[in-house]
């Protein structure tokens, strides 16, 4: 059973809440036969990706954008890596390394780390006055 969050409980956890570190998760990628590490996106990255999904001209860039910014191991932003793959734009590395379905899945995992799509549940159907 869940319990109500009180001001006292929030104050008790103030330092923990103020000093949150970005969550990380290890994912196994079939096509690479190995693991990568992702980190929860910064708020600005998550919001930009959400905006992209609402724009028909940029919606196909949302997941690659998330993957580019959230994969921390290996570092997709490494200039030597991008040069070796012949990337015209930095984000090109995402589609060169991962399969399209993997890009969407990795992006989804990243958004879940940031609390989108999970972490909050309805307790009651509606609140009555």
pLDDT tens, residue order, the chain (129 aa) = 568 888 888 888 888 878 888 889 999 999 999 999 999 999 999 999 989 999 889 889 999 999 999 999 999 999 999 999 999 999 999 999 999 999 999 999 999 998 887 666 666 666 555
- Identify the CATH number of the domain defined by range 21-113: 3.30.2220.20
- Give the domain ranges of the chain: 21-113
How many helices (H) and strands (E) would you count in the chain? 7, 3
Q: Which residues of 86-102 are buried (b: 16+ CB within 10 A; e: fewer)?
A: ebeeebebbeebbeeeb
Distances (CA, A) of 39 to 14, 74, 89, 125: 23, 12, 22, 33
Tokens of 83: 């040069």
């Amino acid at each position: 059973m869940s319990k109500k969050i009180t001001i006292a409980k929030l104050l008790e956890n103030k330092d923990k809440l103020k000093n949150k570190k970005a969550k990380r998760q290890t994912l196994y990628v079939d096509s690479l036969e190995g693991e990568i590490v992702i980190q929860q996106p910064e708020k600005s990255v998550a919001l930009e990706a959400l905006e992209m999904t609402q724009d028909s001209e940029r919606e196909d860039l949302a997941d690659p954008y998330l993957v580019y910014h959230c994969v921390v191991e290996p570092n997709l932003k490494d200039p030597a890596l991008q040069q070796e793959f012949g990337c015209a734009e930095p984000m090109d590395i995402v589609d060169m390394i991962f399969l399209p379905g993997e890009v969407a899945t990795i992006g989804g995992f990243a958004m879940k780390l940031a609390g989108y799509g999970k972490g909050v549940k309805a307790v009651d159907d509606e609140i009555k006055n």
